[in-house]
Chain A
Amino acid sequence: MNKTDVLIIGAGPTGLFCAHQLGIIGLSCEIVDNLDKAGGQCIELYPDKPIYDIPAVPECTGEELTNNLLKQIKPFNVKFHLNERVEQLKKNESRWHIKTSGGVEFDVAAIVIAGGVGSFEPRKFPVKECEKFEGSSLLYSIKDKSIFKDKTISIFGGGDSALDWAIELSNTSKVNLIHRRDGFSGAEASVQKVKELNDQGKLNLFIKYQLDSVSGGKNIESVKIKHDEGEIKEIKSDYVLGFFGLIMQLGPILDWGLNIDKKTVQVNTENFETNVNGIFAIGDICSYPGKLKLILSGFHEGALAARGCFKYAKPDEKLRFEFTTTSKAAQERLGIKK
């Protein structure tokens, strides 16, 4: 059990800055994110695109912004729990008990949801029967590539993940690569490599095909793929891999008894608390009259929510308003040596 003052759900820019604001006022926090890295949309959707509207930063990329935020919270030694999705919140007298998908548990005084548009999850095949095989012979990510040795694998997708895995697995497995069009979004060198392997018969490339159906007993035995023009082919497959990038899903947040309106959580604008005492929501996931889905608004919301958390974490103390420029306490927390 991890005991801390505040749990932040989501390591996007808003969650990261809120950790800073909590640190400044002397509260501890830990952060959970479903992704394998911090940065939220900035790192997952546009790491290389420039942002021009961060106050006092004329231009920076999504990745630079993330790195700077991480640098800014470094003094607080915030503990991150990545690749974990928060599933369950339970009130336990005056504290909250939280559980993640991987079984990590927290005991906290308050919760800040900075979940953006939801947690990033792999996009799935539209074909219904796929669910039956998901996690066993139909996968959206690879944890242990040794299971594919000497098997027949059908990989769907046209991005870097699909291409890279097709190339790598073609060394030890029989690989079919299936993509809906003749263009690929992956790196040109990988596209060339895949085409070469296809010419040498080391991989089978199916262009303008999409998954039509899967069949098998306990495990997948074959898949049918359908051409743009309607022709259907059946190919033997032990495994099916789908690489269609990530989509944001609100998921478990919907089940926490919060007032939800169009995929967002309603909050007050005094401290960004939700209808449930002790649960705050900031950033893209919160809504209130006039809400702007901008990073700068998320920063403001995080500053106020952090102060809102104070009374739950330290009910017997009074929070003082101080500037970082002049507050000794804040500077000590930042580890500034004079």
Chain B
Amino acid sequence: MAKITYHTHDNKTHTVDVQKGLTVMEGAIQNDIPGIDADCGGGMACATCHVYVKEEWLDKLPAKEDGEEDMLDMAFEPKSNSRLSCQITVSDELDGLEVNIPSKQG
């Protein structure tokens, strides 16, 4: 288990335990955290699981695979710390990770 903190747009903070091996997207869906739609179910085909990663965690994350940056072009208000949460697999190293969920996904 790793503790992941999701800051939602309504200024609420949700800290939940996410099982290792699941993605940050799945952690949000399973815990009913609002704002991550994940329309394509993790297929890297929708960009509706877009999150902003807290700066200090950026280089600890698994590198972007081919195609993630292309999908982020489609995301709502992408920034330099944008990631697709379905592409971040939770591991021990990510215990304490914090992400912000954008105001909208589309």
Contacts and interface: CB of A to CB of B under 8 A. Distances in A.
B21 to A, nearest CB: 20
Interface residues of B, number: 20
B73 A185 contact: yes
Interface in A275-300: 293
A45 B45 contact: yes
Contacts, number: 49
Nearest to A117: B39
For A181, A228, A263, A293, the residue with the greatest tally of chain B CB atoms inside 10 Å of its CB is A181
A45 B40 contact: yes
A2 to B, nearest CB: 30
Interface stretch (A102-110, A242-250, A266-274): A242-250
Give the interface SS of chain A, mostly helix, strand, loop or mixed.
loop
B69 A247 contact: no
B106 A159 contact: no
Q: Size band of the A side of the interface?
A: 20 to 34
B40 A123 contact: no
B92 to A, nearest CB: 30
B73 A244 contact: yes
B29 to A, nearest CB: 10
Contacts of A157: 73
A95 to B, nearest CB: 33
Interface of A: 41, 45-46, 117, 123-124, 126, 157-159, 179-181, 183, 185, 210, 228, 244-245, 247-249, 263, 293
